[in-house]
Amino acid sequence: MCAKGPAPKKLVVILTTYGGFIEVVHRIVDTLRKHCSPIEFVVPNFAYSAGTILAMSGDAIHMD
């Protein structure tokens, strides 16, 4: 969980997904941004469709 207060902590999300709905991604991004900064995504395998948009919402993307 990210810190509440003046100095939020960095969040690193490991993401592998076959896709999903954009509306859900929008709510996830809003929630993450409300509580954490910066947000980085690690994509070890794949992030299709809505997962791509979710990864692009972060401050950094790390892929192999």
pTM of the model: 0.83
Across-strand partners of 12?
40
Looking at the structure of the chain, the number of domains it has is 1
Domain hosting 26: range is 11-63
The answer, yes or no, to whether residue 63 has pLDDT greater than 60, is yes
What's the rounded Cα separation, in Å, for the pair 35 and 37?
Answer: 7
Q: Is residue 6 part of a domain?
A: no
Read off the DSSP letter of residue 57. Answer: T
2 within some domain: no
pLDDT digit string (tens) for 6-56? 656 899 999 999 989 999 999 999 999 998 999 999 999 999 999 999 999
Inside any domain, residue 5? no
